[in-house]
Structure 1
Amino acid sequence: MNKNYFLTVLLTLLALTGFSQIIDDDFESYNLGPLLPTAHWTNWSQNSSASNNAENIIISSTQASSGTKSGLIGNGGIQDAILLLGNLSSGQYTLEFNMYVPSGSEGYFNIQGTIPGGSLSGIWNSGDIYFNQGNAAPGVGIDLATNVTFSFPHDVWFPVSIAFDLDSPSHTYQMTINGTVANPTPTDFQSDPILGGVDFYSASSSTTAFYDDIVFDVTSLSVDEFSKEDVSVYPNPVFDRLNIKSVSPVTSISIFNILGKKVKEIQSDNPIKEIDMTSLSNGIYLIKVNANNKTQTIKVIK
């Protein structure tokens, strides 16, 4: 991705939503070959020695969503790379990345709970999430925790987004695959209330998947915004019309896509109580609500 463009996008998101980026990794700064553990990459053994390179994600120039490099997971049951997300227990976060699964190949990852200081024994907070499991279901993915299935394309890059809500009583995740919500009802964490990381694993001899442009964000309200009780929207995910419930009359609304581009704006002398979203494509949107000189930005999935 062009760095100047990315900086513009990042500053826009920070200004609009209070997003604070934890991870931004496009793999361009690494040398080709196995990637030794970094600040946010490790492996299942948590062994940083070059003698353990087989488990690490491989920096490849075979495919790239942006630039010339991406991360490759393959080699049938050998690679087991962990993206560290910080052992988080509260807050709301979004992990996004682009993914490429060649025809005749499988992709795989899972969401891990607490990441210990030493070798992992495995705490699965999601099920095994497959893309064309065992090369037996081309174009079909599945989360084995819920048996929810979803569609994805082979031989092209497609976006994956996972929204984590660690403030909900059960802690949940919700995936959007190629612009379509995979699990309309957020899925409860399966094992513990901690978001530790994502395990990118070569689950079988069929596994070959590339990953690029990984971004992990945390969002929070600023001091001049509404409290969570002052304004709410529903349903979320939304199909066509998004209803707004607010203590103060809402007079203007701006809608931005995940890249920070404004896609819709509404202003009215009368209180705005709903938004027609039928013209917007499926995906994640940031709804900036303005009322009584206060703002709140709410993430909405369509």
Structure 2
Amino acid sequence: MKKNYIFTLLITLCLTAVSFGQEMILNGGLENWDDDTTPTSWTKAEVLTKSTDAHSGSFSAVRDGGSGTKDLSQTISGVIPGNSYTISFWYKVTAGDEEDVRIWSNWKSGDTFVYHVGDVNDRSNDPLRGPEDGYLDDGDGVWTKHEVTVTAPADVDSFYFEVRSYSNSTTYWDDLSFVNNGTASVKDNSIEGFATYPNPVTNNKFTVTSSSSNRKEIAIFNVLGGKVFSSTVSGVKSTVDVSSISSGIYILKVTEDGKTATKKLVLK
């Protein structure tokens, strides 16, 4: 019996190591090509060609002039709500007008885009659309890295990874990455005045406070990333009843006015 327990524990630890800190994008280094204009595993690769001018490895993808917006994208499955993900890529612009490169990504639930910051018409503070919804720095013709870490919102199961180049630019792409960091950081407290108490929770209820009385969306996730509780409260101080959840360790996620705070929550 003891041997079986130890074996199970080792398997669990191995699976955890594989799941977290894991690269989830396919062919992010652009080393594999079906032909000179089709990078393997990328579902959209508009007007791109294989180039030996690479940030690392042997190849990159280049868009060399021409009109219109051109995309490089793929949908990444297996996203876990509440987990932290780091999105990064390298790019180089050797010709253009300083409005040549953007990230244009989105969470998805099935085939539906999920907008959790602003909406489809106003995403000015969305890190998945660039800094303040603007263009990235052209980088003076040298390889430049863009990186952002975000937390997957509730009810999503995939991520649409897309980068864009614009008219008359010469833009290179390489080393695109989407890494699962695991459970969201417990220090990601961006809501002003955010606090919870008591913690551990001993009577099936805890209090959430902030400086604002605006509506707060409450979500609780287990250590595997599965959502086990959701509710909405309002007020500077609100009581949350979690009697429906078993004892254990969880991640609490609170969203207020587009800002998110996460915290480890212990239920006894």
Structure 1 length as normaliser, TM-score? 0.41
Tell me which structure has the larger Cα radius of gyration: 2
Structure 2 length as normaliser, TM-score? 0.46
